Chain A
Amino acid sequence: MPVMTMAHALNDALDVKLGQDPDTLIFGQDVGYFGGVFRVTEGLQKKYGLERCFDTPIAEGGIIAAAIGMGVFGLRPVPEIQFVDYLWPGFDQIVSEASRLRYRSNSQFWAPITIRAPYGGGIFGGMTHSQSPEAILAHVTGIKTVIPSNPYDAKGLLLASIEDDDPVIFLEPKRLYNGPFDGRIDRPVRNWAEEPTADVPGGHYTVPLGKAAIVREGGDITVLAYGTMVHVARAGIEDSGYDAELIDLRSIVPLDVDTIVASVEKTGHCVIVHEASRFGGFGAELSALIQERCFVHLEAPIERVAGYDTPYPHTFEWDYFPGPARVSAALRRVLEF
């Protein structure tokens, strides 16, 4: 099986889809000729032609509106928003239109669009290139939000998202495009080639939406994470020495609540790790769900390891970014409660 970086795996997914389905189109800023600022669409215009993968004006609302119109016609558009930080001009299209179209038309019309966007920090990108808005997206009924943490999942989840008939926001952890990253900034940058999850089969396969992955089985405590934080959490667990069960959510919506509940019932302890700021973050919803469903099993409060409640800073990247030390400290506090 070929070893692929996450960027390659995503590119491969798009290549497969463009090859299989003439109704799939890709567009966004700089994605066509140039191949995208993170190279995820590299080579696709050359291979499939101008009409299949093209550049758009800088108008996120226009991009998403056009995608919705195309989807209504019967195509399967995959627009890219260059950084999810720029989603906001197009947010009206997502909330007011895409998320409600099927509902308000009694399924006469629907928008099978997949909006791809790089998200998350760890790259000194500051507050306009590092945001994690999944909590805001989770709260919009009628859209799905998917976040892979490794190349294998990235390709499979992207294919599944494109083939899903509902609108999907596909957030790609930009820190992981070219290598895994566990937050250990004192060590050399690592390669995807070292990770088994970089073995990506060629051709078509999917990873189902709404199914979490148990990355590491354990009995002491449940750790929930997604995106880059899956790797950070794993490092924190190793450093702590606890026998933690690490779950990669993979889908924010639809959420695999059964896997989460089974794990917390088993361990009685839970720590949630996300880059996004803590207050009103997705960890808050997970905490609410867990305390509703696992209350009598809980031996200690649920803790969230998260970004601080500030805009994403620049120079303070590693102070802000939740690293393995914060994760192990949280595990210790919870287990020694």
Chain B
Amino acid sequence: MAERERGLYIPAPRARPGQAPDFSDMVIPSAGAVRRPPADSAESELRHLPYTLIRVLDDDGCAKGEWAPESDVDMLRQGLRAMMKTRIIDDRMFRAHRQAKTTFYAKSTGEEAIGAAQALALDHKVMFFSSYRTLSWLMLREYPLIDLFNQIFGNARDPLQGRQLSILYSARDYGFYALSGNLGSRFGHAVGWAMAAAYRKSDAIALAHVGDGTSAEGSFHEAMTFASVYKAPAILCIVNNQWAISSFAGIAGAREVTFAAKALAYGVPGLRVDGNDFLAVMAATRWAVERIRAGLGATLIEFVTYRAAGHSTSDDPSKYRPAEEAAHWPLGDPIHRLKQHLIAIGEWSDSRHVQAETELIEQVRSAQKEAEAIGTFGKSKPPVREMFEGVFKDPDWRVLEQRRELGI
């Protein structure tokens, strides 16, 4: 509701707590409606794409249209499992926070398809400059759960030695760049990394994520400029989950233009994709890879999705949006839709799903117990000496003196 009484226009979401969820202004083409241009098309021929929505899976779980990817069902089942595992961990760790076992956690409920599908679509020569909401990438790549939980608990075996906030992982061997809590500042690192890959004539690719809110940061725009100017072999993604803590996407300009359309200003293709559609995410990512291989540089992809849970353990979304808004999200739930698809093609079943869930719960539970045996937050931590390590490659006299002050 625009407030024209006021001199200064301030955008507001369509529904606040107590009101009915309202996604009526979303234009949702049917699955398969958007054509798939060749990845090496001229950018001028792609300028309509930021205003559409690429979808593959229809409401019955059937794959439709030119964007439907060729995919191995084992890979898809792997993807499904990764998403399920992510959701199970999110649930358990959120509760662990309420039990004071960790100081912080953020769920990726509703967005699990994005990380998992991209992890499948990209090979091991990729470096992923992620946000803090892509656990499904690490799960697809089979990052050891014990290491995950040790970091969340900040215990004596934390792979990051107690230095970093919970869930801000770093996993170089899994192609996962060290998270920082700052928004947007790593987007440009992906571009630089890609520029280096190009310089070295390597076929490595950089993948980067920012959120809808973060796309307002100057660092996003600087990175886009560099990606465009130097034709960096990078896949740059805006994960539009509609909410940046309590600020709806309109505060970042969603009402005025789609996030994908920001690509137009930089002369790169902008794909706008159903982020809850596992196959569409894979397809769009592969298209961007093909474009890089054709020597045409970066692509911006907007994944349209919904942040079904709160921003983090410090947030209660019922304070600023209707409590049932997630349930009304028109693009459904990613786990449900892939499950439905696999069942539709005869490669899955409800009972297998239940069985998989049971196995995954057990896997997660037992890893969690193992981590809890080492210790949870405050009950166990790495040696205090680690606080002083890793500032520089070699410690200088200041930290050595300060260590001695502490008697270590």
Contacts and interface: CB of A to CB of B under 8 A. Distances in A.
Q: Do A and B have CB atoms closer than 8 angstroms in the complex?
A: yes
A59 B180 contact: no
A303 interface: no
A66 B200 CA distance: 15
B225 A106 contact: no
A93 B191 CA distance: 14
A96 interface: yes
27 contacts: A25-B199, A57-B222, A61-B185, A62-B226, A65-B191, A65-B222, A65-B226, A66-B226, A69-B129, A70-B196, A72-B189, A73-B127, A89-B218, A92-B182, A92-B219, A104-B164, A104-B168, A104-B179, A106-B161, A106-B163, A106-B170, A108-B178, A109-B170, A144-B392, A164-B393, A253-B396, A254-B397
A18 interface: no
Q: Which of B180, B222, B391 has the most CB of A within 10 A?
A: B222
A234 interface: no
Contacts of B177: 72, 109
Interface of A: 25, 51, 56-57, 59, 61-62, 64-75, 77, 89, 92-93, 96-97, 100-110, 141-142, 144, 164-166, 210, 253-254, 257
Interface string B163-188: 11000101110000111101001111
Q: Which of A72, A107, A109 has the most CB of B within 10 A?
A: A72
Contact of A109 (B172, B204, B218): B172
Contacts of A109: 170, 172, 177-178
A102 B226 contact: no
Given A69-B190, A103-B163, A62 B196 contact: no
Contacts of A101: 178, 180
A225 to B, nearest CB: 21
Q: Which 9 A-B pairs have the closest CB atoms?
A: A69-B192, A65-B188, A62-B222, A105-B178, A66-B192, A73-B196, A69-B189, A69-B193, A105-B170
A104 B397 CA distance: 21
Nearest to B176: A108
Contacts of B335: none
Contacts of B127: 72-73
Nearest to A60: B222
A64 B192 CA distance: 9
Given A59-B225, A103-B163, A106-B159, 20 more contacts: A57-B222, A57-B226, A62-B225, A66-B188, A68-B189, A69-B189, A69-B194, A69-B196, A70-B193, A71-B192, A74-B196, A77-B192, A102-B390, A102-B391, A104-B168, A106-B163, A108-B178, A109-B177, A141-B391, A164-B393
Interface in B117-171: 127, 129, 159-161, 163-164, 168, 170-171
A70 B204 CA distance: 13
B170 to A, nearest CB: 4
B164 A102 contact: no
B192 A108 contact: no
Contacts, number: 147
Interface residues of B, number: 46
Describe B's contact surface by its main secondary structure.
mixed
Nearest to B187: A65
A95 to B, nearest CB: 9
A65 B392 contact: no
A253 B399 CA distance: 13
Given A62-B223, A65-B219, A108-B172, A166 B182 contact: no
Nearest to A166: B392
Interface in B209-239: 218-219, 222-223, 225-226, 229
Q: Which of B171, B178, B195, B391 has the most CB of A within 10 A?
A: B178
B393 A102 contact: yes
Contacts of B199: 25, 51, 70, 75
Interface in B313-329: none
B390 A73 contact: no
Contacts of A62: 188, 191, 219, 222-223, 225-226
A98 to B, nearest CB: 10
Contact of B218 (A61, A67, A75, A96): A61
Contacts of A77: 192
B185 A70 contact: no
Contacts of B196: 69-70, 73-75
B197 interface: yes
Q: Which of A61, A67, A165, A166 has the most CB of B within 10 A?
A: A61
B175 to A, nearest CB: 11
B206 interface: yes
Contact of B188 (A25, A93, A103): A93
Contacts of A75: 196, 199-200
A62 B217 CA distance: 12
A96 B188 CA distance: 13
Contacts of A96: 180, 182, 185
Contacts of A104: 160, 163-164, 168, 170, 178-180
A142 B392 contact: yes
A282 to B, nearest CB: 14
Q: Which of B171, B180, B188, B206 has the most CB of A within 10 A?
A: B188
Contact of B392 (A25, A74, A89, A102): A102
Contacts of A51: 199
